[in-house]
Amino acid sequence: MTATETHRAIDAVWRIESAKLIAGLTRIVRDVGIAEDLAQDALLAALEKWPETGIPDNPGAWLMGTAKHRAIDILRRNQLLERKHEQLGHELEARQEAAVPDLDEAIDDHVGDDLLRLMFIACHPVLTMEARVALTLRLLGGLTTVEIARAFLVPEPTIAQRIVRAKRTLSDAKVPFEVPRGAELEARLSSVLGVIYLVFNEGYLATAGDDLLRPTLCDEALRLGRVLAELAPAEAEVHGLVALMEIQASRARARVSPSGEPVLLLDQDRSRWDQMLIRRGFAALTRAGQLGGSPGTYQLQAAIAACHARARTADETDWSRIAELYAELSALVPSPVVELNRAVAVGMASGPAAGLAIVDRLVSEPALKNYHLLPSVRADLLAKLGRHDEARAEFERAARMTQNARERELLLEKAGRGKREGGRGGKR
């Protein structure tokens, strides 16, 4: 192996081992920042040694062994310090050798638990959302600061600083290394899921950034979701989120035209949907369903995505089921945007008049004042009802509101079509 090949191989080992390594070390030193420094030191040692010795058979154990030695040094030093403090205050204390805990045992057990704890710490609510995202990608994704910065289109020092500050915040707040229990669990888990889904969407919805690292964010979010599904298999919403991401990712090839323009769901070439990911999404959704309980928001969104995935053509879409699911979602998290989506589904299932009735109730909604999809959806429904003059006015209003040039073009085109069809009724 040449030196470059070894370095690449070490990168790969790091990618596989780093999260487990940091998690195990955090268990010993109880500080994520110190744990990551120790892990980085072990990586440096590997970069120094392995080009000569070759990559060991069990590289994970080698890295952990190396890092553990340093961890023990630190612990001993701290204990010495503590002891000195004690000596200053009191007389000699009897309990000298407050022995280093049995580290091997501590590490080898509960690798999974440690990873889960690390996820909960990285997504802790004392941190800002931005910090949670950066820290999660760094500690659990094994991404470098440079990679994270490139994926989020921000300068590298910004991310580096964000991570340093996050680690300090965690340390100052003395955030315990544990899996939260009881009532706290739900809120904390929802923070973890929120971070993963944000990373996914950052990659999925990206139109900006001429960089392959943005799809990497999708892949990484999916991977973290799949990891979490194994760590917390009893949590239905985890499987719900995984199902949602798998099904959305299955459309990646179809949702952008060769010239880079977004293709709407109903216009996509369904033969380009990735059937393997769809099947995985269905499997995750089934797992969520088998756990019972009333479905959460991710599970409901995944169920909606699954309705689309099941339809072989856009015409075969089960819109009444989708309308029902949006109604459930709306009851769970009341939101005008969800209502607008429900209006679209109802419009498809029960006819444009029923859809329009819902949309009209949203017109005075302040949250949607600048939301171009409101007039756009309303215009579509009006056009289907043959009210072409009103439809054109709404298309034009939507066109004025959108920030996206390509979308504006599309809306104005529809407005123009409405003009030609003016007076003629019926469906589109």
Partner 1 sequence: MRFVAMVRATNASEAGEMPSQELPAEMGKFNEELVKAGVLLADEGLQPSSRGARVRFSGKNRSIIDGPFSETKELIAGFWILQVKSKEEAIQWIKRSPNPFPTGESEIEIRQIFEADDFGEQFTPELREQEKRMRAEVAARR
Site residues (CB under 8 A) for partner 1?
A: 8-9, 11-13, 15-16, 59, 112, 153, 207-210, 212, 215-216, 219, 222-227, 230-231, 252-253, 258-260, 276, 280, 403
Question: Rounded to whole angstroms, how far apart are CA atoms 119 and 224?
Answer: 9
- The CA–CA distances, whole Å, from 35 to 15, 139, 157, 171, 313 equal 16, 10, 21, 12, 52
Q: Of the two residues 55 and 349, which places its CB atom closer to partner 1 in the complex?
A: 55
Minimum CB separation of residue 374 from partner 1 in Å reads 23
Q: Of the two residues 124 and 280, which places its CB atom closer to partner 1 in the complex?
A: 280
Minimum CB separation of residue 114 from partner 1 in Å reads 13
Q: Of the two residues 84 and 253, which places its CB atom closer to partner 1 in the complex?
A: 253
Minimum CB separation of residue 118 from partner 1 in Å reads 14
- 182 Ramachandran zone, left/alpha/beta (phi>0; psi -120 to 50): left
From the list 123, 198, 131, the residue with the least C-alpha distance to 162 is 131
**59-97 burial: b if 16+ Cβ within 10 Å, else e:** bbebbbebbbebbeebbeeeeeeebeeeeeeeeeeeeee
Assess contact for 195 and 132: CB atoms under 8 A. Answer: yes
Minimum CB separation of residue 379 from partner 1 in Å reads 25
Minimum CB separation of residue 211 from partner 1 in Å reads 9
Q: Of the two residues 21 and 359, which places its CB atom closer to partner 1 in the complex?
A: 21
From the list 238, 308, 321, 250, the residue with the least C-alpha distance to 281 is 250
Minimum CB separation of residue 270 from partner 1 in Å reads 15
First-last CA distance in the chain: 64
Minimum CB separation of residue 138 from partner 1 in Å reads 14
157 phi and psi angles, rounded to 5 deg: -60, -30
Q: Of the two residues 213 and 345, which places its CB atom closer to partner 1 in the complex?
A: 213
How is residue 298 written in tokens? 């991710």
Question: Rounded to whole angstroms, how far apart are CA atoms 371 and 171?
Answer: 41
Q: Of the two residues 35 and 217, which places its CB atom closer to partner 1 in the complex?
A: 217
**Amino acid at position 167, single letter:** K
Minimum CB separation of residue 274 from partner 1 in Å reads 10
Sign, CA torsion 347/351/355/356: positive
Q: Which helix (H) or strand (E) holds 115?
A: helix 111-122
Query: Would you tell me how many other CB atoms lie within 10 Å of the CB of residue 44?
Result: 11
Q: Of the two residues 161 and 275, which places its CB atom closer to partner 1 in the complex?
A: 275
Question: Rounded to whole angstroms, how far apart are CA atoms 261 and 310?
Answer: 25
Minimum CB separation of residue 322 from partner 1 in Å reads 27
- The CA–CA distances, whole Å, from 320 to 289, 294, 349, 362, 384 equal 20, 20, 5, 21, 18
Q: Of the two residues 274 and 365, which places its CB atom closer to partner 1 in the complex?
A: 274
Q: Of the two residues 280 and 392, which places its CB atom closer to partner 1 in the complex?
A: 280
